[in-house]
Chains A and B, each alone.
Chain A
Amino acid sequence: MKKIAKHNIIAVLKAWAKDHTVIAPQRKDHDEIAFDTFDEASFTLEYTKSSVSPKQALFPQNEVIFRIEDGTYRQVTDEKKRLLFGIRPCDMKALLQSRDFMSKDFKDVYYEARAQGAATVVMACAGPQSPTCFCTTTRSGPWSDAGYDLQLTDLGDSFLVEIGSAKGEALASSELFSPIDDAEAGRLLAPLRKEAEERIPLVPQVLEVMEKLKLSGVPDDAWEYFGNKCINCGGCSFVCPTCTCFNIFDRVVSEGNGERIRSWDSCLYAGFTKEASGHNPRGTQGLRIKRRHEHKLLYHNDRKTHGAVSTCVGCGRCSDYCPVHIGTIEVAKHLTEKKS
């Protein structure tokens, strides 16, 4: 393992930026934290979880997949080598899950072009990043156990650096990183990890509702309770690190010329499943909310979970951002409530 002084982080990021597009936590207007291209002026190490997950670094909200010139489709792929700095363990887990999904059966060339060269530097969590964090329940934090290239742990004026791959080894090879004896590093890590895990409250209802969905399911009217509240904004899907559903559409620039674009989509929208005939197999908002939660908590068998219990990685963003309180935590609590 290695160590790096905090005051050297900027220098390291600048060095990495020479041959990578470095994506790092940036403090935006209104103190919003976003993962964006490294800019020293707005870069911050004082950050909690980002509003939107860093999934957009590999899967942008909108991307041109073909440029159409005189009726001919020309593939557009983005092969910039990215380095994702400071992503949280929950988001790391989500990234591993999403990458598997996007490359299984056949490789999604657009996702893969960004993902294959990408390096990941995880920032372990010393505790909950917001009251909605529940990664200890979903087993996707507060530390990453695998998949990262480097993982940093805050030691006060320095970071402990765990090396997870050959790529990580190369990234931490400069003289700004100093070696630290593994046994000593282990002694430093163990109590920090234990303390962080204890500070993140368990939400046993999430596991209970998973069991319930598997064994008996939940009656449709229980989903309609949420369906009636839902304002159909799709925000939960957009902030979710494991949501990867998309739409494909064309933008015309001139006769025979334009772009084919793919953009994030959400299973919460009525039009998501509506067929040309007008038939909608998921015809109510309750059924759409059921779909979203069943996909996260029940039907994750289409995705490898990389050690997490589900494809919900416990980041809590849906609970942070849903204006009408239909986050995973609220749903799990409501559906497992003991009626007296």
Chain B
Amino acid sequence: MGDSCTNKYEPFPVVISRTLPQIGEHRLFQLKIEDGRSWEEFGHQPGQFVEVSIFGKGEAPISISSPPTRPDYLEICVRKTGKITDALFEMGKGSRLHIRGPYGRGFPVDELKGHKLLLVAGGLGLAPLRSLLLYVLDRREEFKDLILMYGTNNPDNVLFKYELLSFFDRDDIKYYYSVDRDQEGIWKQYVGLVTGLFDHATLSVEDTKAVLCGPPIMYRFVMEKLLKLGFPKDNIYMSLERMMKCGVGKCGHCAIGEKYCCIDGPVFNYTEVEHIKEAI
């Protein structure tokens, strides 16, 4: 496990301890290490990912949704969308699978500490960003103001609904939620694209670090907003999604220019990728 393992391609067995249904084809899986050890020595950081192995189906990269501050379990939020995730959805509590990791450079927690944070998530982008969100909430005193913006396409597709609702009771996080469309007229918050939330939020650019995670289209428009507001480029971080096979910078699938998303990322400072045409 972790660095103690000499062959980084070797997966180790874990057991599903709980499955929590999310919207539609999304499910949160809680994993335990087979021998019951804590995840502490796994050493994962917010924003990292694991390769999930299902025998006979292969491997898929999946981001870790839980923070290291909650080492009793490792959570992955999965969309059912291929061979491996189809097989995973056939599994329930007590099922055994394999994982390897943690991989990649996650959110730069140390650089974020002591600053105000603006987290912007779109759609399933909340799954990796949640590991940072919960980390900040668990160590709230180490960070200044916290703003969360989350946009999804319609009210039925809000991930982690109950967690998001629970922030209503907290005064140490400001939240802004949006849906692109609300055909049934049930949505009480903002209707429109996530970028529209910027017109409703009170943001101080100074001392604020922005962290983005969402579909590629979101980055383009959110970046536009942030730069217009005067965010310095090096105060903007983003988690990029790529097809990652090996997770260790060898197989070539996730290359973005001269970088490998799996080891140089998936989290990048904007200044590291702005010059790479295929990055965003």
Q: Is A47 an interface residue (CB 8 A)?
A: no
Chain A neighbourhood of B53, CB < 8 A: 73
**A246-B251, A282-B278 known; A105 vs B263 contact (CB < 8 Å):** yes
Which one of B16-24, B35-43, B54-62, B141-149 is at the interface? Answer: B54-62
Judge whether A324 is part of the interface by a CB distance below 8 angstroms: no
Q: Known contacts being A105-B263, A248-B246, A258-B55, is A73 close to B251, with CB within 8 Å? A: no
Contacts of A159 in B (CB 8 A): none
Contacts of B58 in A (CB 8 A): 248-250
Does B202 belong to the interface (CB within 8 Å)? Answer: no
Is the contact region of chain B dominated by helix, strand, or loop, or is it mixed? loop
With an 8 A cutoff between CB atoms, is A184 at the interface?
Answer: no
Contact (Cβ within 8 A) A275 B255: no
A102 within 8 A of B: yes
B215 in complex: contacting residue of A75, A273, A279, A299, CB < 8 Å: A279
Could you say which residues of chain B place their CB within 8 Å of the CB of A265?
251-253
With A65-B9, A75-B10, A276-B82 already in contact, the answer to whether A105 and B56 are too (CB < 8 A) is no
**Interface membership of A321, Cβ < 8 A:** no
A contact residues around B60 at 8 Å (CB): 276
Rounded to whole Å, the gap between the CB of B260 and the closest CB of chain A is 7
> What sequence of 0s and 1s flags, for each residue 283-316 of chain A, a beta carbon within 8 Å of any chain B beta carbon?
0000100010011001101100000000000000
Contact A272 to B243, CB < 8 A, known contacts A250-B56, A282-B278: yes
Closest CB-CB distance, A245 to chain B, in whole Å? 3
Decide if B79 touches A109 in the complex (CB within 8 Å): no
Question: Given A71-B55, A73-B98, A250-B58, are A273 and B242 also a contact pair (CB < 8 Å)?
Answer: yes
Q: Residue B75 at the A interface, CB < 8 A?
A: no
Verify A276–B8 contact, CB threshold 8 A.
no
Count of B interface residues, CB-CB < 8 Å: 43
Question: How many whole Å from A61's CB to the nearest CB in chain B?
Answer: 15
B250 and A246 within 8 A (CB):
yes
Asked whether B192 is an interface residue with its Cβ less than 8 Å from the other chain, the reply is no
Chain B residue contacts of A102, Cβ below 8 A: 250
User: Which B residues, 252 to 270, have Cβ-Cβ distances below 8 Å to chain A?
Assistant: 252-258, 260, 263
Q: Which residue of A lies closest to B258 (CB)?
A: A299
Give Cα distance in the complex from A302 to B245, angstroms. 18
Q: Which of chain A's residues have a CB closer than 8 A to the CB of B98?
A: 73
CB atoms of A301 and B258 under 8 A apart = yes
B-side contacts of A275, CB under 8 Å: 241-243
A240 at the interface (CB under 8 A from B): no
Asked whether B258 lies within 8 Å of A302 as measured between CB atoms, the reply is yes
* Known interface pairs A248-B251, A299-B258; A106-B215 also in contact (CB < 8 Å): no
Distance in Å: Cβ of B5 to nearest Cβ of chain A: 10
A105-B248 contact in complex given A65-B9, A245-B253, A272-B253, C-beta closer than 8 Å: yes
A295 with B255, Cβ < 8 A, contacts A65-B9, A256-B55 known: yes
Does A202 lie at the interface of the complex (its beta carbon under 8 Å from any beta carbon of B)?
no
B252 and A244 contacting across the interface, CB-CB below 8 Å: yes
Say whether B242 contacts A109, CB under 8 Å. Answer: no
Residue in chain B with minimal CB distance to A303: B258
A291 closest partner in B (C-beta):
B255
Given A275-B243, A291-B255, answer yes or no on A73-B56 (Cβ-Cβ < 8 Å): no
Q: Is the CB of B245 within 8 A of A244?
A: no
Nearest B-chain residue to A295, judged by Cβ = B255
A55-86 vs B: 1/0 string, CB under 8 Å? 00000000001101001010100000000000
**Given A73-B10, A299-B257: 16 more A-B contacts, CB < 8 Å:** A68-B55, A71-B13, A108-B250, A110-B9, A244-B250, A248-B246, A250-B56, A265-B252, A267-B255, A272-B252, A273-B243, A273-B254, A279-B216, A281-B242, A282-B278, A302-B258
- Selected A-B contacts with CB under 8 Å, 8 pairs: A71-B13, A71-B96, A110-B9, A273-B253, A276-B85, A295-B255, A299-B258, A302-B260
B interface residue numbers (CB < 8 A to A):
6-11, 13, 53, 55-60, 79, 81-82, 85, 96, 98, 124, 215-216, 241-243, 245-246, 248-258, 260, 263, 277-278
